Structure 1
Amino acid sequence: MLRTRITLVVVAATLLAILVSVVSSYRGVTGMVADQFDRALVDRADAVAAVLDAGRVPAERPDTAEQLLLPDGTVRPLSPGRAALPVPPGALAVARSGEGRLTAETTVGDRTFGVLVLGRGEGHGALVVSQDYADAERMDQEFLGRISWTTAGSAAACAALSWLLIGRILRPMRRLARAAERISSTQDLGTALPAAGRDEVGRLTLAFEVMLDALHRSMDTLQAQEEKAGT
């Protein structure tokens, strides 16, 4: 059915445009979220280092974990009762030199942590600050969920609107098709055709009228010749 095929083409084109927009938006959003978490990790590490230099214990935060990595590889959590997190490769080199920074990721079970290793000076090891990426992953899932529902709703609305509009556009063609079917079944070349517009369907209707008129004249001429031959 022409109406169905055209609707499917329109919906497919709309979905393609939406998917291109979604992919570009998703990349932009994930990049922004990653940058925000990286900045937050750096800010937290600098704040904890300043507190330690002042001889105080940093306040505990539920989304971060801080620990000291000594030059000999010993790990000391700064929050009482918290287990030490895995130290990323290269962190021990920073702890032994006491200089530089190292960023990495580590996984504990099904949880992913962003890790920043900050040297605290020669002989003092390094500060290791880990930030849970659960919030970032939750935001990512929420964004994908909302985009999926929005895409599905847009596709449904596009399909319904396209079906209605294409039906109106094809209405003159259906009228012309019904007129052609009546002419074919009744052999009545005088059957009225729908009014011709200025679009392509109107041009087709005019061409059909010209063809019927020529056929009607040909049949009249043939009939006259037969009557003349009979007399």
Structure 2
Amino acid sequence: MPYDAPSDAASRAARCAELLDALARELGADHPEVLKHRPRLIHALADAGDLGGAVTACVDLLVDLNRIMGADHHDTLQARNILAQLQGWSGDNAGAANAYATLLPDVERALGVDHPLALATRHNLALARGLAGDAAGAAVMLGQSLASMLRALGSDHPQVLTARFHLAWMRGRSGDLAGAVAALDEVLADQQRVLGRQHPATLETAKQLAAWREN
């Protein structure tokens, strides 16, 4: 789905870059604290609209993580997930879907099928395929992904609520407006109960529900 950047993104990116430079000078470029901070800069650059810079920084990070941590380390796999996200945010949903499809078996093998990163990757793969044009197929995949999340996380987990929203949204994109409205109505009630009425996710669901009801 489209990515909305926070209003202070440019200044946050500059602060992240300054902190990263200071940490690298003090601790060394390969220090775990420096490696941990680099994804924050990548997200800050993306938030600020510099997707090219974010992709370059993410590719550089992947090279270093493969060298220092190894290909199967969580942080390396997470960096690959971030790179796939950046592809989707840049509009290359087909490329993002391919990246997630390549990543998923590696995550499941290294971390387990119910690891949070595996759950997220499976969900993101389905969502990217839907945004690339296969809304009906994506809705089926999102339903399967949601079943895994429910088993691993429970019905009130925020990630599960987001997955339910995406499934309902994809059903609407595939032409099932009645199903989308009914599902969004249920998601909204649960988000209001679990997250609160003013939570950004709750407000987004209410906005989408109103839009579907107008169709």
Which structure is larger by alpha-carbon Rg, 1 or 2? 1
TM-score bracket, normalised by the shorter chain, equals under 0.3
Greater per-residue helix proportion: 2
Q: Higher strand fraction: Structure 1 or Structure 2?
A: 1
- The TM-score normalised by the length of structure 2 is 0.24
> Could you tell me the TM-score, scaled by structure 1's length?
0.23
Which one scores higher on RCO, CA 8 angstroms, separation ≥ 6? 1
